[in-house]
Amino acid sequence: MATSTTLAKADESVAHAARLDHVSKSFPGPSGPQLVLDDISLDVAPGEFVTLLGASGCGKSTLLNLVAGLDRPTAGSLTTDGRPALMFQEHALFPWLTAGKNIELALKLRGVAKAERPGKARELLELVRLKGAYGKRVHELSGGMRQRVALARALAQESKLLLMDEPFAALDAITRDVLHDELTRIWAETGVSVLFVTHNVREAVRLAQRVVLLSSRPGRIAREWTVDIPQPRRIEDAPVAELSLGITEVLREEIRRHGQH
């Protein structure tokens, strides 16, 4: 099958932020190629918030890396509306730079003129509610603050699509809760499309308009749910809990089927 990874031009005719068409991915293994993702077809609409849910090792990060253009599919085709921005579990900020300078670096890479960068960096810090952090170095910030700076830096790229790989997994529950609220607000304010990877069912339901469940070995789309619960949601809301319970049952079944823990 033909393989192509194309960055589509950002114009009106593009009806999706990302489109995966029969995408498969194999890695070389000890006894031949190991199929990790099998025949994934998935569209993310402009402005849509999709969470990708699945057990550990099912291929979520592999899929996100393909969408990011960091790796290429073995088969199938993949297009995105411009170059996506990325945010990982680890903040990956430069420790020798201040929060402000980390963001300015992203602005510089986007071609923003030097004189405009400090003002824009401050605006972005304000968007993630970290106004006072401009001159702070990374080690002076808490884990939650670092992820806010990382989010501001991702937003500095002004991409149409934000790819997030378990960005809040290392945070305590309260901080995570606050950042869920912030992300939902920023998503609504900016109109950015989000593809968010997690193995936390409640988090997936709390955030998304659509939850896509991946099966394991190989990763296939097992099921999808549309989440009609109005935002802002709370992770402990009854409808969130109820849908999460249903999804967890399907996820458990998937894990049992593939003999994982």
Ligand X SMILES: Nc1ncnc2c1ncn2[C@@H]1O[C@H](COP(=O)(O)OP(=O)(O)OP(=O)(O)O)[C@@H](O)[C@H]1O
Pairing of β 75-81 and β 18-29: antiparallel
36 binds, among Mg ion, ligand X, none (CB under 5 to 8 A by kind): ligand X
The residue from 5, 26, 61, 74 that contacts Mg ion (CB under 5 A) is 61
The residue from 16, 17, 49, 59 that contacts ligand X (CB under 6 A) is 59
Q: Which is nearer to ligand X, 27 or 94 (CB)?
A: 27
Cα 236 from Cα 239, distance rounded (Å): 9
**What backbone phi and psi angles, to 5 degrees, belong to 35?**
-80, 115
In 146-233, DSSP assigns E strands to 161-165, 193-198, 210-214, 221-226
54 binds, among Mg ion, ligand X, none (CB under 5 to 8 A by kind): ligand X
Q: Which is nearer to ligand X, 200 or 231 (CB)?
A: 200
Could you say which residues in the range 186-225 bind ligand X, by CB under 6 A? Answer: 199
Element counts in the chain: helices (H) and strands (E): 7, 10
Q: Which is nearer to ligand X, 102 or 147 (CB)?
A: 147
73 binds, among ligand X, Mg ion, none (CB under 5 to 8 A by kind): none
Q: Can residue 36 be called a binding residue for ligand X (CB under 6 A)?
A: yes
Could you say which residues in the range 113-172 bind ligand X, by CB under 6 A? Answer: none
Cα 31 from Cα 85, distance rounded (Å): 35
Q: What is the DSSP letter of 200?
A: -
Size of the site for ligand X (CB under 6 A): 11
Identify which of 23, 51, 50 has the alpha carbon closest to the alpha carbon of residue 38: 23
Which residues of the chain form contacts with Mg ion (CB under 5 A)?
61
